[in-house]
Amino acid sequence: MTNRDLENALSLIADVPDYPKPGILFKDITPLLADGPSFGVVVDALAQSIADLPEKIDALVAIESRGFILGGALCRALNIGFVTVRKPGKLPRDVHRKDYQLEYGFDALEMHKNLLSKDKTVVIVDDVLATGGTVLACQDLVEMSGARTAAHLFLLEISQLNGREAIQRAKPGIEIISLLRT
Ligand code: AMP
């Protein structure tokens, strides 16, 4: 895989203005997912960035729902575990829960208890880093489980929303990796 292949694959991410509401530029990864060779190139690049981390990674923690698509493919490629983080009410057993603030209002995320423990190291993966609120909520869930996070991994980072700075402020020392920064 060359840098050119990766650039071509990432160029399939489509900008959708004013979705889901006026003023938001939505980054639509579905054209990239629909193109088999491009999806493969992107999964290979994300897998390589995980393999390059100094620690051994036991599992990926991924966020519903686009994080699941990338996370599932990556776990298969790396032969590591997959831990799902979901919207409230979707997981059937005891959960850790994190309420967090959105631009307007609140949301919450949940993760099953007992899937992770303090001897585990994880990477949190999602498609897009915007303000950082979602990945930081996920980070709190990982911390409730006692596990350690080696990195936050994204396909794409929207630089002007300063998610990177928000993560660095709240959780100094966690590596932040994006294949593309806009
Ligand atoms: P945030 O918590 O602000 O970093 O938002 C990240 C989450 O919301 C990720 O799960 C993204 O899939 C989604 N998201 C936020 N903003 C966008 C955007 N402009 N385009 C696509 N997805 C977005």
- Say whether pLDDT at 104 is over 80: no
State mean pLDDT over 2-23: 95
Nearest CA to ligand 1 atom 13: 128
Tell me how far the alpha carbon of residue 135 lies from the centroid of ligand 1, in angstroms: 10
User: Tokens at residue 145, please?
Assistant: 């489980």
- Say whether pLDDT at 114 is over 70: yes
Beta pairing partners, 109: 98
Q: Catalytic positions, please?
A: 66, 103
Q: What is the CATH number of domain 54-181?
A: 3.40.50.2020
What single-letter amino acid sits at 57?
A: I
Residue 156, pLDDT score: 97
Report the C-alpha gap between 71 and 125 in whole angstroms: 7
The model's pLDDT over 120-177, given as tens digits with 9 standing for 90+, comes to 999 999 999 999 999 999 999 999 999 999 999 999 999 999 999 999 999 999 999 9
Any atom of ligand 1 within 6 Å of the Cβ of 126: yes
Residue 103, pLDDT score: 65
* Torsion, CA 69, CA 71, CA 75, CA 77, rounded to 10: 60
Q: Compute the mean pLDDT over every residue in the chain, rounded to the nearest whole number.
A: 96
Report the C-alpha gap between 128 and 16 in whole angstroms: 14
Three-class SS of residue 107?
Answer: strand
On whether the CB atoms of residues 98 and 136 are closer than 8 A, the answer is no
38-47, 103-112, 130-139: which has the minimum mean pLDDT?
103-112
- Domain coordinates in residue numbering, the chain: 54-181
- Pick from 20, 21, 42, 22: which is nearest to 31 by CA? 42
- State the pLDDT confidence band at 55, using cuts at 50, 70 and 90: very high
Any atom of ligand 1 within 6 Å of the Cβ of 63: yes
CA atoms within 13 A on the CB side of 34: 7
